[in-house]
């Protein structure tokens, strides 16, 4: 990918070459959801100039319909994630403040913003906003995510969710 979301402010740099991973299992892309049925998986890590993380996961499927099924399942998981995250927070004694918002959509692409006090696991612990961009094209499904530590999406003047539609289109163009 030549341009990640929030590129102007973050100045993303690749952390080495993309890595090919095993897909013999469901792949968690967040506490909200996982990808099932991929036959190929390539992961690329990035760091911003402030040393915050971003990840691009590209999954290959045997057919466009298999990729579409995985996309729809992941989208449904994100749409219903608030309740599950708050239960997860309660289980770990963390404030139950998770909010997941769909910020944009295009044909076969959806963006989400998730603000919460994260529990250590997939996410780093503490107050943060995570941005997710999920796009399907043909037999490919790409998930791009980045984290803003200590930031609540609704209070952050730098990240504009209104730009998420354009970011989804950029991701789709580079798949």
pLDDT digits (tens, 9 = 90+) for 19-58: 998 888 899 998 899 999 999 999 999 999 988 889 999 9
Per-residue DSSP letters for 124-143?
PSEEEEEEEEEEEETTEEEE
In the block, which residue shows the tokens 């729809």?
72
**Residue range 148-157, pLDDT digits in tens:** 888 655 444 4
Rounded to an integer, what distance in angstroms lies between the CA atom of residue 53 and that of residue 45? Answer: 7
For the chain, the distance separating the N- and C-terminal CA atoms, rounded to the nearest angstrom, is 8
How much of the chain, in percent, has pLDDT values that exceed 90? 63
Phi-psi bin for 54: left (phi > 0), alpha (psi -120 to 50), beta? beta
Per-residue pLDDT at 3 exceeds 80: no
At 162 the pLDDT is 62
- Contacts within 8 Å (CB) and 24+ apart, 1-5: 1/44, 1/56, 1/144, 1/171, 1/174, 2/174, 3/170, 3/174, 4/46, 4/54, 4/56, 4/144, 4/146, 5/131, 5/133, 5/144, 5/146, 5/163, 5/164, 5/167, 5/170, 5/171
pTM assigned to the model: 0.89
At 161 the pLDDT is 58
158 — pLDDT class (breaks 50, 70, 90): very low
Give burial (CB, 10 Å; 0-12/13-18/19+) of 16: exposed
Rounded to an integer, what distance in angstroms lies between the CA atom of residue 111 and that of residue 128? Answer: 17
Per-residue pLDDT at 125 exceeds 90: no
**Residue range 68-77, pLDDT digits in tens:** 999 999 999 9
Rounded to an integer, what distance in angstroms lies between the CA atom of residue 117 and that of residue 135? Answer: 26
Rounded to an integer, what distance in angstroms lies between the CA atom of residue 174 and that of residue 169? Answer: 9
Per-residue pLDDT at 159 exceeds 50: no
Per-residue pLDDT at 122 exceeds 80: no
Domain segments of the chain as ranges = 10-51+62-120+134-156
């Amino acid at each position: 990918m030549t341009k990640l979301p929030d590129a102007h402010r973050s100045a993303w740099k690749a952390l080495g070459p993309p890595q090919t991973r095993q897909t013999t299992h469901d792949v968690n892309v967040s506490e909200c959801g996982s990808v099932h049925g991929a036959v190929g998986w390539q992961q690329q890590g990035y760091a911003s100039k402030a040393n915050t993380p971003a990840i691009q996961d590209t999954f290959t499927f045997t057919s466009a319909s298999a990729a579409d099924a995985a996309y729809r399942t992941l989208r449904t998981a994100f749409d219903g994630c608030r309740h599950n995250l708050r239960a997860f927070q309660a289980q770990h004694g963390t404030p139950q403040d998770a909010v997941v918002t769909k910020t944009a959509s295009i044909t076969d692409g959806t963006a989400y913003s998730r603000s919460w006090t994260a529990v250590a696991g997939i996410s780093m612990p503490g107050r943060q906003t995570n941005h997710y961009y999920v796009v399907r094209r043909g037999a490919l499904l790409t998930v791009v995510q980045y984290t803003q530590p200590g930031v609540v999406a609704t209070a952050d003047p730098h990240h504009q969710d209104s730009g998420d539609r354009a970011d989804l289109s950029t991701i789709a163009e580079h798949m």
